[in-house]
Amino acid sequence: MHKKINRKGMLLAADLCVFLVLLFVDQFTKHLAILHLKDKAPFVLIEGVFEFRYLENRGSAFGLLQGRKVFLLVVGLLFMALLLYLLFCLPTGKRFIPLHICLSAIVAGGLGNMIDRFRFDYVVDFFYFVLIDYPIFNVADCYIVVATIVLFVCFLFVYRDEDLAFFSFHRKAGAGNRKEAK
């Protein structure tokens, strides 16, 4: 039992390290964007394809919910609490390390954007794909999108229902019902 608790503690410490590194990178890149892009012409990396362009996003993804700071902070905190709960519930086996990393990345991305919203009343965005006129985004958004895609792929192709039974609130009742049915 002690070994299992120690392994869980070590894994959560690793989650915290991943989270802190990702959060630092996000906040640092936003700081650079403020220093080098704010009130300046876009920095073109590939003409007609990609540039760094400063934007103050006062809404959520794709600029939705403009000016709803309190709502976005409350929803963000609730969602972050759910993700942290899931991180603590995840099993400690090597098989679940991708889930730990993905959830840590999503939490880092969400908190990174929440820090901006709290400090500045907006989120600093600066990546812009001109070629497809995709909405301007930031590093935290990349964490959230990439980690969510990886989670989706893992849930579809890597993990079986039994592997994810720890997510179920009804697992004990369900297990008893299966025994009775046999």
The number of residues in the chain equals 182
pTM of the model: 0.83
> Does the pLDDT value for residue 172 go beyond 60?
no
Give the up-direction half-sphere exposure of residue 132: CA atoms within 13 A in the CB hemisphere: 5
Q: Exactly one of 121, 125, 161, 163 is catalytic; which is it?
A: 125
Question: Phi and psi at residue 44, in whole multiples of 5°?
Answer: -85, 120
Instruction: Give per-residue pLDDT as tens, 16-53.
Output: 999 999 999 999 999 999 999 999 999 999 999 999 99
| pLDDT at 161 (0 to 100) | 83
- Listed residue (66, 91, 76, 112) closest to 162, CA to CA: 91
> Does the pLDDT value for residue 3 go beyond 80?
no
Known active-site residue 125: yes
Known active-site residue 141: yes
Q: Exactly one of 15, 26, 116, 141 is catalytic; which is it?
A: 141
| pLDDT at 181 (0 to 100) | 35
> Does the pLDDT value for residue 173 go beyond 50?
no
Q: How far is CA 129 from CA 24, 85, 135, in A?
A: 24, 35, 8
